[in-house]
Amino acid sequence: MSLDLADTRIADARPLADLTALTSLDLSRTRIADATPLAGLSALTSLDLYGTRITDATPLAGLTELLSLDLSFNEIADATPLAGLSALTALVLHNTEIADGTPLAGLTSLTSLDLRATLITDLSPLAGLKALTSLDLRATPVTDLSPLAHLSVRPNRFGA
């Protein structure tokens, strides 16, 4: 089951907590500030929280079926809760406050990673992400691409 609530005035995600059959949920550009009610939606494979008011990704840590997650344009500073989401193939962290990519090191299924306008400087945690085919580093303070030298990402796909 898929539910699209993008661009609505929804501010409270609690009514969604019982929709455990949801596989796709789009809450982009809503007023949701607390992701806690989403923690039990274990069937989700796609979750879009673009431009919400989420500051803590901890409630998402148990959503291990997620293949696609968009947290862009949120004030999330810690990617640690995402470390166990090993099924992820697409992760968008564009314009977040994330500075440490270490929690992403184990996300070896990622084929697409968007780190545009983050505070990431050290790419060495991404060196083991051998499935990556798309990596966006535009508007980051990255200066050294050498940790990515062995990846199959084509140079024109780097945003740096």
Q: Could you read off the pLDDT of 94-113 as tens digits, one per residue?
A: 999 999 999 999 999 999 99
61 and 82 assigned to the same domain: no
Backbone angles phi, psi at 81, to 5 degrees: -65, -15
Residue where a domain terminates, one of 71, 104, 129 = 71
Write the CA distances from 124 to 44, 61, 94, 100, 145, integer angstroms: 30, 23, 19, 10, 9
92 and 147 assigned to the same domain: yes
- 160 pLDDT tier (thresholds 50, 70, 90): very low
Domain that holds residue 43: 1-71
18 and 94 assigned to the same domain: no
Cα angle: 29, vertex 88, 126; to 5 degrees: 105
Q: Above pLDDT 90, what percent of the chain?
A: 92
For the segment 28-49, the average pLDDT, to the nearest whole number, is: 98
pLDDT digits (tens, 9 = 90+) for 39-76: 999 999 999 999 999 999 999 999 999 999 999 999 99
For residues 44 and 65, is the Cβ–Cβ distance under 8 A?
yes
pLDDT digits (tens, 9 = 90+) for 120-150: 999 999 999 999 999 999 999 999 999 998 7
Helical segments of 34-81, H only: none
Instruction: Note the pLDDT of residue 154.
Output: 52
Instruction: Note the pLDDT of residue 46.
Output: 98
pLDDT score of 157 more than 60: no
How many Cα atoms sit within 13 Å of 89 on the Cβ side?
5
56 and 88 assigned to the same domain: no
Q: Would the pTM of this model clear 0.85, i.e. be above it?
A: yes
51 and 29 assigned to the same domain: yes
